[in-house]
Amino acid sequence: DAGVIQSPRHEVTEMGQEVTLRCKPISGHNSLFWYRQTMMRGLELLIYFNNNVPIDDSGMPEDRFSAKMPNASFSTLKIQPSEPRDSAVYFCASSHLRRDKDTQYFGPGTRLTVL
């Protein structure tokens, strides 16, 4: 299996621009998680989906952030408009709820820099 795939790996954009991060979970997994990691705040859970349905988005910092999961093999995290404080590494992870001990498998991350 290819593991969790994220794109792009690196993104540099200017303040005010729209940013879309993409994630392909491991085939057969039914849970997907978006995390943000910074030096100051560590690893933060933004939102997670079970069977393509958002379960908890309380970690989404502001209305500028939105996430979708149109099908079991694809999810996006969008920031519009982006701000310099959004600079971070964004991770996607997937798991199979009720199997494999809830183990989450992480993608390599997208390093976002907002100038």
Partner 1 sequence: GEDVEQSLFLSVREGDSSVINCTYTDSSSTYLYWYKQEPGAGLQLLTYIFSNMDMKQDQRLTVLLNKKDKHLSLRIADTQTGDSAIYFCAESSGYGGSQGNLIFGKGTKLSVKP
- Cα–Cα distances in angstroms (integers) from residue 61 to residues 3, 44, 46, 53, 79, in the given order: 27, 10, 8, 19, 10
DSSP string across the chain: ----EEE-SEEEE-TT--EEEEEEPPTT--EEEEEEEETTTEEEEEEEEETTEEEE-TT--STTEEEEEEETTEEEEEESS--GGG-EEEEEEEE-TTSGGG--EE---EEEEE-
Least Cβ distance, residue 52 to partner 1 (angstroms): 14
Decide whether 39 or 62 has the Cβ nearer to partner 1.
Answer: 39
Least Cβ distance, residue 67 to partner 1 (angstroms): 15
Decide whether 50 or 73 has the Cβ nearer to partner 1.
Answer: 50
Stretch that binds partner 1, among 20-28, 47-55, 67-75, 76-84 (CB under 8 A): 47-55
- Is 56 a binder of partner 1 (CB under 8 A)? yes
- Is 93 a binder of partner 1 (CB under 8 A)? yes
Decide whether 13 or 30 has the Cβ nearer to partner 1.
Answer: 30
Residues near partner 1 (CB under 8 A)? 4, 31, 33, 42-43, 45, 48, 50, 55-56, 91, 93, 95, 97-98, 101-109
